[in-house]
A and B are shown apart, each in its own frame.
Chain A
Amino acid sequence: MKPDSIFNALDISHYVYLSCVLFCIGLFGVLMRRNAIVLLMCIELMLNAVNLLFAAFSSYMGDASGQLFVFFIMVVAAAEAAVGLAILVMVYRNTKSTDVGFLNNLKG
């Protein structure tokens, strides 16, 4: 089956549902996990859900802007991952843990 025929059989709402589910799974991870590196991974998952929705709307409407937005989101995600991981490595050096609970000490 060619991709085109699959695309024609699908409605935009199916991609909306899929993206919503992925976003909520990412949110669930951010709320539930305490390992800071896994939190960053869940944020990447949420960003990807948004990317998928951007690409779906862009393809359905025949507008290339949506796909360029995805491109820029990827740039921001790469920068965010690099800086976030550098901060986490530094935190690990000081506390010997990546548990976000330790970061409570930052307050005040």
Chain B
Amino acid sequence: MQYLSVLVLGLPIEFLVLSFITILCALYVVTNKNPIHSVLALILTFFSISAHYIILNAQFLAIVNLIVYAGAIMVLFLFVLMLLNLNKDSEPQTKMGWQVAAAIAAGLLLVVLAASLHKSSEYVSRNPVEGVGLVKNLGKYLFSEFLVPFELSGILFLAAMVGAVLLGKRKSNEESTEMEDKAQ
């Protein structure tokens, strides 16, 4: 407890409130029984992570995070949840023993990670550069040093799009039997 108070004391209140909201929403995502509420809490988590990006002077990432994650991906999740009509009643139950085991495993990982990384600030030289997170600077890097990964990610998107359409399509014979069923 003393260690925790040392960790928290003297920090800007904005950071503390934001981190509190982030962690609380993340816990709500994990523990809530209703998947729709989970998606909404996850959107809130992404909003607060975007606020963290703004604190970190990563303005471009903050906007992209909102558009891509909170906008596109989460709407996709919400759409699928509503399409499949999943709610609290259809939620599969986990055994109590499993829940305890999962909590212990995750807690142990947290302890190990925190213990191994708690001196990380000694190894990072603090050297903030003005405007490092702006579109102009990032674009310069993206289209020179990272040009090949950028093009490859375009191919990845194409493959993912084709794959998703192919997986989501019904087989033609399946469709025809359904049509026959309807006709009868």
By a beta-carbon cutoff of 8 Å, the part of chain A in contact with chain B is 1, 3-7, 9-18, 20-29, 31-35, 37-38, 40-42, 44-45, 48, 51-52, 55-65, 67-68, 70-72, 74-83, 85-90, 92, 97-99, 101
Q: Which residues of B contact A68 (CB under 8 A)?
A: 138, 141-142, 146
Whether A62 pairs with B113 at a CB distance below 8 angstroms is no
Q: Which residues of A contact B7 (CB under 8 A)?
A: 14, 17
Task: Tell me the complex Cα distance, A50–B64, Å.
Answer: 16
Given that A29-B30, A32-B94, A82-B160 are contacting pairs, would A59 and B128 also be in contact in the complex, using a CB cutoff of 8 Å? yes
Given that A28-B103, A74-B65, A81-B76 are contacting pairs, would A35 and B86 also be in contact in the complex, using a CB cutoff of 8 Å? yes
By a beta-carbon cutoff of 8 Å, the part of chain B in contact with chain A is 7, 11-12, 14-15, 19, 22-23, 26-27, 29-30, 35, 38-39, 42, 45-46, 49, 52-58, 60-61, 64-65, 68-69, 72-73, 76-77, 80-81, 83-84, 86, 90-94, 98-99, 101-103, 105-107, 109-110, 113-114, 117-121, 124-129, 132-133, 137-138, 141-142, 145-146, 149, 153, 156-157, 159-161, 163-165, 167-168
Nearest first, the 9 closest Cβ-Cβ pairs linking A and B are: A62-B129, A31-B102, A79-B160, A28-B106, A29-B30, A86-B167, A32-B102, A24-B110, A99-B92
Say what secondary structure dominates the interface of chain B: helix
Task: Tell me the complex Cα distance, A41–B31, Å.
Answer: 12
Task: Tell me the complex Cα distance, A33–B29, Å.
Answer: 11
Which one of B68, B103, B107 contacts A78 once the chains associate, using CB atoms below 8 Å? B68
Task: Tell me the complex Cα distance, A26–B159, Å.
Answer: 27
Which one of A23, A44, A67, A82 contacts B61 once the chains associate, using CB atoms below 8 Å? A67
Which one of A13, A33, A58, A85 contacts B30 once the chains associate, using CB atoms below 8 Å? A33
